């Protein structure tokens, strides 16, 4: 037993936190530190196989489990029927510029109605007529030059200029024709592809899945469109409120009926045919 050193307070025994150190006015014990319960360590969750997990469910076990699911290294390839594969190869041969997925083939390739070319060549014809008829008549009448006479070289130079102008108008008409006819509307068994070309060096493709098409309709205005049976078709997609239009479509009712049938078949998981 160690003697107590003089001048030091007597040593206190260690306090037991489970025993009170004082009492309140109602006689209830006060604790210096409330006793804390130590959390019991949880056993680690053992991973089980998928077969064991199914067996536990069948036996009514509700214990938490970690299930390891197996997955194939290569994703499952959708089976394509021989008929669809043959149509896919035929569409790739006829339309090499289209990006078609496996089993996708073209049901309809819609061209613009030839009526749209009338306005193009009407402008070209009017310009050429003015160049070769209007200017010579104006010069010969004397209203343009008055009493001034033109030499043979001046007349020849003027004729060359007019000829070059006429050639430029004709080339412009040819380019406008190529651009007009390059715009196409393709309906496949999976999507709608619209090829848009605004110039010789400006073109783009818009692809819309049949699953995203909410509404498809056509419109004919005026007696000319009704007599020549052409008009515009309109598509709207779900969610984005985006509208797509394709003008100068020959027989628009037939094309929109075919499109609506394809959309309905695709959304109901039925084969999309070309009927």
Torsion of CA 18, 21, 23, 27, to 10 degrees: 40
Task: Give strand pairing partners of 211.
Answer: none
pLDDT at 157: 76
pLDDT at 240: 63
Of the candidate CATH numbers 2.60.40.10, 2.30.29.30, 1.10.8.60, 3.90.1580.10, the domain formed by 84-112+185-267 belongs to 2.30.29.30
- Find how far residue 75's CA is from the centre of its chain: 24
The tens digit of pLDDT for each residue in 36-59 reads 555 555 555 555 555 565 666 556
- What is the CB neighbour count within 10 angstroms for residue 241? 8
pTM of the model: 0.63
Domain range list for the chain: 84-112+185-267, 116-180
Q: Phi and psi for 189 in degrees, rounded to 5?
A: -75, 0
In the block, tokens 């995203």 appear at 212
pLDDT at 88: 92
Which of the residues in the chain have pLDDT under 70? 1-78, 135-136, 138-152, 154-155, 240-241, 273-275
pLDDT at 168: 94
pLDDT at 56: 61
């Amino acid at each position: 037993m160690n003697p107590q050193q003089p001048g030091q307070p007597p040593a206190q025994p260690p306090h037991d936190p489970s025993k009170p150190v004082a009492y309140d006015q109602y006689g209830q014990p006060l604790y210096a530190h409330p006793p804390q319960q130590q959390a019991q360590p949880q056993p680690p969750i053992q991973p089980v196989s998928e077969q064991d997990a199914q067996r536990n469910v069948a036996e009514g076990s509700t214990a938490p489990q970690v299930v390891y699911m197996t997955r194939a290294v290569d994703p499952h390839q959708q089976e394509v029927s021989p008929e669809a594969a043959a149509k896919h190869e035929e569409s790739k041969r006829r339309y090499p510029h289209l990006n078609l997925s496996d089993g996708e083939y073209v049901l309809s390739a819609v061209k613009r109605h030839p009526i749209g070319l009338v306005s193009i060549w009407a402008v070209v014809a009017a310009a050429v007529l003015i160049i070769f008829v209007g200017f010579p008549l104006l010069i010969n009448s004397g209203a343009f030059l008055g009493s001034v006479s033109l030499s043979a070289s001046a007349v020849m130079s003027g004729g060359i200029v007019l000829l070059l102008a006429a050639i430029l108008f004709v080339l412009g008409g040819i380019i406008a024709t190529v651009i007009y006819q390059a715009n196409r509307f393709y309906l496949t068994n999976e999507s709608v592809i619209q090829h848009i070309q605004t110039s010789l060096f400006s073109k783009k493709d818009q692809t819309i899945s049949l699953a995203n098409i909410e509404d498809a309709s056509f419109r004919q205005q005026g007696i000319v469109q009704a007599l020549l049976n052409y008009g515009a078709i309109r598509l709207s997609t779900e969610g984005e409120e985006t509208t797509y239009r394709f003008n100068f479509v020959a027989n628009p009712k037939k094309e929109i009926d075919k499109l609506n049938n394809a959309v309905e078949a695709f959304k109901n998981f039925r084969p999309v045919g070309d009927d």
